[in-house]
Each structure stands twice: as structure tokens, then as C-alpha cells.
Amino acid sequence: MSLISPEEINHIKESNDIVETISKRIELYPKGKNFFGVCPFHDDHSPSMSVSKEKQIYTCFSCGATGNVIKFIEDYENVSFMEALKILADQAGIPLSREMIQKKGNEKNEALYEIYDVSFKFYHNNINTALGKPAKEYLKQRDISEAILKEFGIGLALKKHDMLTKLLMNKKFDMNVLMKSGLVARNEHGYLDSYYNRIMFPLWDLTGKVVGFSGRTYHGEKDAPKYINSKESEIFKKGELLYNYHRAKEEARKENKVIIMEGFMDVIRAYTIGIKNVIAMMGTAVTREQALLIKRMAKEVILCFDGDKAGEKATLSCSEELLKVGVTPKIVHLEENLDPDEYIMKYGKERFLGKLENPLNVMDFKLSYFKKQKNLSSEQDVAKYVNDVLEELTKIDDEILRELTLQKVSEESRLEIGFLKEQLTTKKAPPKPTETKKQTDRKLNKYDKAQMYLLYYMLQSKEVIRLYNKKITFMPNEQYRNLAFHISYYYKLYGDINISSLIDQFEDNRDLIRTLGEIEQLNLKENYTIEEINDYFNAIKEYNVKNGQAELQKKLKEERDTKEKVRIANEILALKVRREENDK
């Protein structure tokens, strides 16, 4: 299947202004001729992303993230190049002339995706057969309607132990890949299904592809674990995924609010009462990658975990990770140790919605958590409580929330608020993750500068590209050499230079994109003189001559043949003459 044409790609890109597109997702502020915002691709607490309306590109001056409008959508939405194009085409009302291709870059895992797709269809079909009636009845009793069953692709692994294995083997999938998928196991009798006699809940990656399953018992078996989840594979890594992300992201953006729960049944139950901006951690501790994903979903984040001790600990842990990336969550605490699924089933939609509309701020939750098992009549317990709260306040950026919390603690502890503020200022906030040091911050010698400055003006001017093609045969630094080659090749193809379109030629070459970002960060003066450009050429030639001499000197030292030594010595002399001529 042929790819979409470069003309169509450019048309889609030109129909989506980068400033407008990015500003729908993060807040941008005008500064000079560019716009700035908090970078969504790293733990950024101050605007370090620059967006150029003129060049139609963005660059983060901290982490180096760089790209055009397509690249931004790819990375922000966690989708492939073609899926990003589809989003932008829909945004601009442009019909695509070709069917979307499968996720770019997944070729090596294509078989795994296919295996999970076949398995998903197999399980979902099973529940709609006569053999699936008991499972359907069980779900009906749990108030899971036919519509919800279809929406979440709930299926069934039947009692026979090898039905899926036979189907997959008949489709000629490689046995090694089948074993890698975790859907097929092996014992002394041969190959068999990993799941049987369980209701199957599909688990998706961020783009909506099935990459795993959670199988649940429904006959009340005492010895078997209630849930069995797929083992991690090349396409299923729990720490990088969020359950229901692909469905919830648009709803969360519309509402500017996302609700996070612990388990997928909580999410499914929320859907039954019309709450769709909801995701789940699938019972795992939140990772930094997940926290950054959540940060991109919506401004308001509500944690609604289980109401038991384990749920409180998970709430505390998740809020810590979110605070590290600059998100201050709100908390819904459920009584009677209930999880959201149980709470909704017991108390109904209205009471649960009331909980969501009146969440606790994160510090009120922590005050309640730290007070547990403490006697505030005991000076020792009061001291421990106050120190715990002050430690937590060092992580909070919201000054109003800090002030309100200090007032509450002052009343509870009978300590003067001025004293508490003094104690707070003496406590050091935990160090924030070290941001990636800008490559341009490193000490540059004149040869590095010559290459970088030359590349900067090649990206601005056809004249400089033509001079480069005429005068330079070799750029010493490999990453700069690669970028120069792509700029020169782009000019050869199109007779012009356009940074936004040049990025499309890089495809998934992260090194090239990073190098381009490094050059863009230089922010040199717009106008150049031919004398300056010639100075860069001369510095590069000087380096090449010096480097060539050094290599020949090394060869001369190691050479044993007299004739070859004479030839190398003559070559060194010729290079020396060239160098002297360059110096004139």
C-alpha cells in the first residue's frame, strides 16, 4: 500500500498553523516574534518551549524536543506519523485520499499486534455464542449492559484449553512469537491456551491497539486467582500505558478534567453512568512516564482510588509522582473501604457525581492521612504531624494552598503561623529532576562554532547552502555532517529550504531532530555577511587539514617501509602548504 504523497502531507501541514494547534493543548504566551509555553515533553515548571509561527516549528530550550506540527501531534498524542496526519486532516476538514496505514515503526512487532487482534476477535465472538450465555448472565447481574460489553470489547475464553492455540497455529504464526505473546503456554502434553474459562477484558496501548488481557473468574472458583493479567511483552509495558487512555483523552480535553482510578472495572462502571473522562492505573504504582501523560491530558486531575488503606497509600504515592511533574491533583475519598465500582453499585450515580464535584485538595487529604493514629494532645505526635505536613508543603507550588494549609495546621497545633512559615522556609524542597542540559551550554571551540553557525545560516538561506555545496567537502562532526547532508539534499530536490518540511524527511531519526533543535537554539542574528560565512568555511578547512596532518604523522611513525614513509612525508608537506595558504 502506497503512502500518502508529499503534496498531501504539505497541504495538511499548511492547513494547521502550529501556534493554533499547540495552543489548543498547552497555554502559549507571545514573546518577541515567537510564542512560549511549558514543555509537555519533560518535567518543565517554567515556559521553555519556543514556537515559531514564521518557521512553523517548536523547540524546547531545556530538553531539546524539536519538530513541526505533525511531530508535535505524534509525541503529544502518542500516535504514529500517519495517525497524527489523520488528526490534523480532520482538524482542517481535509479528506485523506488514501486509507491510513498501520502504525509506522511497528514492523518488528507486527506479528504480536496481529496475534492480539485475532485473539481479541476470538474472545469477543465467544461471549456472543450459546457457550457464552453464563458469562453474559454474570455480567448482566453486575449491571454490565450489552452496549458496555461491546464498547469495551469484553470477551470469553472457553473451557477447552487449546482453542485459541489451534486457531493461531492454523493462521501460521511463528511458534516463538506465540510464546512471546503470553497467550500460548507449553506443558508436557504440548501447547495450550494461557487463558481458559475466564471473562476476558482487553487492555489497549495509547493508540487503541489491543496489547494484553485481564482474565477474570466468574464461577466463584476458590483456589484460582480472581484476575490473571497478560505478562509484559515488547508491546505491553504497564508502566508506559494508562487503561482507557485512547478513549478518555478527547473527553478529558473537552472537560479539561481527567479522573484516575485504580482498576479497569472502576472505569467500566464509571462509563455505565456516563463518566467518560476516566482512566486507570491497572493496580500499578504510577511511573514518571504515566505522570507526564496525565499532565498532558487535562489541567484538573482527580484521583479516585479505593477507599481502603491500600487505596490511601496508592493515592499518596500517585499524588507524589504527579507533584514532581508540576500537577497538583484533587482527591476523592470513598467511605467504607469501597472501590469506585462498589461505591457506584451501592450508592448510585448521583451520590458518586456529588463526590466528584466536591473533591478534597491534596493537602487536606494529606492532613487527614498524617493525623491517623496520632494523638494531637501529645506534644511528640503534634511535632511529628507538623513536620510531616511542612515536608509536604515544600512540594506544593500553589501559594494560596500553602497559606490555607498553614492556617489549618496553626489552629490544630496551636503554633503561631509566623513560626510555621519560618520553619517552612528552612526546609529544603526535594531536588527536582535534573533537566537535560542544553547541548549549546557545553564549551565550544572555534571549530564546533564554525560548523554550528554555518548550519544555522544554511537553514535560513539558499545562498549559504549553495556556498556550502561549492566549498565544503567534509564536515568534521558526524551529527553536523548528517544534518548538512540532509539540508543540501533537500535543497537539491526542491530548490529551497523549509525547516518544517525538512523535519518530515528525518522520519524517526531522533539524533537528527535533536541536532536540528540544538542549532535552532543558537538564535543568532538574522543577517549574515559573506565574510562571516567564509570565516566558518576557513575554520572547517583548517580543522580538516590539522586533523589530516595528525593522522598522517601517526601513520609515519608506525610505517616501516622507506618508500611509503617518503610518500607520507610528502603528503604532510602538501597539507602544511595548504594550511599556510589558508592562513594568508
In terms of domains, do 157 and 195 share one? yes
Check whether residue 354 and residue 254 sit in a common domain: yes
Banded pLDDT at 572 (limits 50, 70, 90):
low
Mean pLDDT of 362-371: 89
- Is 350 found in the same domain as 370? no
Our count of domains for the chain comes to: 5
Smallest CA-to-CA distance from 228 within 165, 290, 175, 185 is with 185
pLDDT value of residue 339: 94
CB of 57 closer than 8 Å to CB of 67: yes
Please tell me the number of Cα atoms within 13 Å of 110 on its side-chain side: 7
CA-to-CA distance for 376 and 370, rounded, in angstroms?
11
Task: Tell me what the pLDDT averaged over the chain comes to.
Answer: 86
Residue 434 within a domain: no
pLDDT at 575: 55
Q: Which residue has the higher pLDDT, 302 or 412?
A: 302
Q: What's the confidence (pLDDT) of residue 576?
A: 60
**43 and 132, same domain (yes or no):** no
Q: Which of 385, 451, 455 is nearest to 420 (CA)?
A: 385
- 374 lies in the same domain as 504: no
Q: What is the DSSP annotation of 51-75? A: EETTTTEEEETTT--EE-HHHHHHH
Higher per-residue confidence, 204 vs 566 = 204
Residue 158 and residue 200: Cα distance in Å, rounded?
A: 10
Same domain, 147 and 225: yes
Residue 1 lies in a domain: no
> CA 173 to CA 179: how far, in whole Å?
10
Q: Indicate whether 247 and 284 sit together in one domain.
A: yes
Question: Is pTM beyond 0.85 here?
Answer: no
What count of other Cβ atoms lies within 10 Å of the Cβ of residue 17?
14
In a domain, 101, yes or no: no
Would you say residue 283 has pLDDT above 80?
Answer: no
Q: Are 340 and 273 in contact (CB under 8 A)?
A: no
Euclidean distance between the first and the last CA atom of the chain, given in angstroms as a whole number:
58
Residues 405, 370 share a domain: yes
Q: Which of 216, 236, 256 is the last residue of a domain?
A: 236
CATH of the domain at 315: 3.40.1360.10
107 domain residue, yes or no: no
Sheet arrangement for strand 360-361: 278-280, 257-261, 300-303, 330-331, 360-361
* CATH code (residue 77): 3.90.580.10
157 has which bridge partners? 198
> Taking 60 as the threshold, does the pLDDT of residue 106 lie above it?
no
Residue 143 within a domain: yes
Domain ranges, residue 443 = 439-583
Q: How many CB atoms lie within 10 A of CB 311?
A: 21
Q: Are residues 483 and 565 in the same domain?
A: yes
Residue 455 sits in the same domain as residue 578: yes
Place of cell 504523497: 5
Task: Choose the final residue of a domain: 192, 216, 236.
Answer: 236
Decide which of 206, 236, 266 is a domain's last residue: 236
Q: Does residue 282 share a domain with residue 200?
A: no
Residues whose CB falls within 8 Å of the CB of residue 132, separated by 6 or more in sequence, listed in order: 126, 156
Neighbours of 146 (CB within 10 A): 11
- pLDDT for position 128: 94
- 455 falls within a domain: yes
